[in-house]
Amino acid sequence: MKIQLKDEFRKGVVTVNKKVRGYFEILARAVSTDDTRKYLQAIWYNHETKELVSTDGRRLHILHADQTENIEHMLPDQDAWLEYDKGLLYIYHVAANGENFPNYRRVVPADNMIENGETYHFIKGKKSKYYKPAGINFEIAKFYCDYGVPISLDYLLDIQGDSYQVKADATNARGRAVIFYNHCMEIVLMPFQYDIKRLEAVICAVESIA
């Protein structure tokens, strides 16, 4: 993650424990790189809900700090912007990137969700000289077969390293949102190759509540 925010707003730098770096790497991958949406170019920490959030308008990554060991003690006692890079967590005043983050809960599907009770183990495979990148494992293939949802493979590779259950929006078979979740993370993914109008609706929803 490229450091974007100004030093004058920085409140501190924390070394992230190796045990939880994977969670911050997953959060960082969903941070927007779009210069027209600067308010999305960092991780948002909601002190009230103890949630760390990132989104680029096509996917939304949420980490529940109070459900994750070795994380909450690193975080400030107020809302803040965060940047993660190479094991370091940079903490900034809210004025560094806009006072507020969009109401991300409004774009998380809550109704008409279906799930099959399966747990998918998206654990990275070992590198192989015969296949690069390694890690498009059986569980990812199984998810595609179970749900038939056109989610970007890149998005699935970005959330590897943990196990998830899945809920899918039952209202739109081709363009439905999918939520991957476990004890500490919620990851909302939207298809965009097959249903551009639905993607645009999600981006507009995020921008309208910014």
What does 39-71 look like in DSSP terms, one character per residue?
GGSSEEEETTTTEEEEE-SSEEEEEEGGGSTTT
Look at residue 192 in the predicted model and tell me its pLDDT.
Answer: 56
Alpha-carbon gap, residue 102 to 92, rounded angstroms: 17
- Check if the beta carbon of residue 1 is closer than 8 Å to that of residue 83: yes
| Sequence ranges of the domains in the chain | 7-99, 107-208
Is residue 184 predicted with pLDDT exceeding 90?
yes
> CA–CA distance from 198 to each of 45, 76, 130 (Å)?
27, 36, 38
**Residues 10-31: what's their mean pLDDT?**
93
In terms of pLDDT, which residue wins out, 170 or 42?
42
The residue length of the chain stands at 210
Q: What pLDDT shows up at residue 98?
A: 75
* Rounded to 5°, angle at Cα 28 from 184 and 158: 75
Tens digits of per-residue pLDDT, 63-92? 999 999 889 889 999 999 999 999 999 999
Q: What is the DSSP string of 162-175?
A: EEEEEEEETT-TTT
For 36-49, b where at least 16 C-beta lie within 10 A, e where not — what string? ebebbbbbbbbeee
Looking at residue 205, its pLDDT comes to 53
At 117-172, the pLDDT tens digits run 888 888 765 554 444 444 455 677 778 777 777 777 788 888 888 899 998 877 76
Tokens of 138: 């059986």
- Pick 201 or 10 by higher pLDDT: 10
The pLDDT assigned to 130 comes to 42
CB 56 within 8 A of CB 181: no
Average confidence (pLDDT) over 3-24: 89
Range with top average pLDDT, 2-11, 152-161, 176-185, 188-197: 176-185
- pLDDT interval class at 201 (50, 70, 90): low
Max Cα separation, the chain? 50
In the chain, how many H helices and how many E strands? 4, 11
Answer whether residue 207 shows pLDDT above 70.
Answer: no
For residues 39-49, average pLDDT = 92
pLDDT class for 45, splitting at 50, 70, 90? Answer: very high
The torsion angles phi and psi of 83, rounded to 5 degrees, stand at -130, 140
- The per-residue pLDDT for 194 is 45
The CA-based angle 54-55-56, given to 5 degrees, is 140
